[in-house]
Amino acid sequence: MKVVGRFAPTPSGRMHMGNLFAALLAWLSVRSQGGTMILRMEDLDSQRTSSLNADRIRRDLEWLGLDWDVETTPQSLRTERYLEQLSVLEEKGLLYPCFCTRSRLHSLTAPHASEGVFVYDGHCLALSEEEKKAMGRPPSWRVQVPCEEISFTDGVQGLYVEHLKTQCGDFVVRRADGAFVYQLAVVVDDGDAGVTEVVRGRDLLNSTPRQMYLQRLFGYETPAYYHVPMLMSSDGRRLSKRDRDMDLEELSETLSAQAIVGRLAQWAGLNPAGESVTPQELVKSFSWKQVDKEDVYIRDG
């Protein structure tokens, strides 16, 4: 089977060591298997993303030597296709409107769940047609999940299991303002492009069962997953866009592309001495076995 991988950056700013870490590994995995690399801009959020940022990301990837074979249509131009797939969910009788307020949803947060994680209780499934009409505001749209455990073996993190009903609940696929959510868009985009492997940060590990469920409903094959470690700052926080010293804006002033790739590869366990290197030079010896699942703590300097 032909390997197809992808970069799926959100063009909300400059590339950052955290995204690049996943991008380098995605690229190495595809290139080491002679596969096809896709680039796709995940610009669903029109407030936070821009085509200027997308241009910058393309240039940054090229500068680092992370090339791609095709760029597929950005998410902002795929609304028709997402609508088509939404109607598949509707035809299956799995789609329903949710009028819950934010504060009601917050009250559902499970005591041990991490911040912002709650299990939707299906409240709006029981609304009558009259009650829906009386709401007087546009709803978001949820897909019903089965009472079922979804499990898969991640190429880095190992076995992952989630019970959709009790650990996630019916989830939103389209927001009240009409925007499609990442969970739906990513499944449709990867599925339509024939993606066979998904390499991304571990922060998306718990999205995967929802995505696998949608893949099944839409009739897509499930790709192989590799959820790579997060880069952590020395004070124990996950690196984010707030760590300006870790984005290319700053780093490219003082470091060469090869020095940056050398550092990323060192953190991935592929370049112990951390010397400068091109992505191409890493292809031959690349193996997922070398990549550890533990998060990477980055020393300053």
95 vs 185, beta carbon nearer ligand GLU: 185
Among the candidate windows 5-13, 54-62, 138-146, 293-301, which touches ligand GLU by CB under 6 A?
Answer: 5-13
Q: Does 124 bind Zn ion (CB under 5 A)?
A: yes
142 binds ligand GLU (CB under 6 A): no
Contacting residue, 4, 5, 10, 23, with ligand GLU by CB under 6 A: 10
Q: Contact at 8 Å (CB) between 146 and 91?
A: no
Q: What is the CA radius of gyration of the chain?
A: 20
Residues recorded for the chain: 301
Q: Of 56, 58, 123, 165, which lies in the binding site for Zn ion, with binding defined by CB under 5 A? A: 123
Min. distance of Cβ 186 from ligand GLU in angstroms? Answer: 5
Contact 170, 125 (CB under 8 A): yes
Considering the complex, state which of residue 10 and residue 196 has its C-beta at the smaller distance from ligand GLU. Answer: 10
Orientation angle between helical segments 208-218 and 79-91, nearest 10 degrees = 80
| Burial class of 144 by CB neighbour count within 10 A (0 to 12, 13 to 18, 19+) | middle
- 3 contacts 196 by C-beta, under 8 angstroms: yes
Min dist CB 232 to ligand GLU, Å, is 16
The interface with ligand GLU within residues 36-95 (CB under 6 A) comprises 42
CA distances (Å), 120 to each of 104, 166, 259, in order?
Answer: 10, 9, 46
Residue 98 binds Zn ion, judged by CB under 5 A: yes
Rank residues 8 and 39 by Cβ distance to ligand GLU and give the closer one: 8
Q: Which of 3, 4, 5, 8 binds ligand GLU (CB under 6 A)?
A: 8
In eight-state DSSP terms, residue 236 is: S
- Please tell me whether residue 9 binds ligand GLU under the rule CB under 6 A: yes
Choose between 129 and 253: whose C-beta lies nearer to Zn ion: 129
Q: How far apart are the first and last CA of the chain?
A: 43
Q: Is 86 in the site for Zn ion (CB under 5 A)?
A: no
Which residues of this chain interact with Zn ion, rule CB under 5 A? 98, 100, 123-124
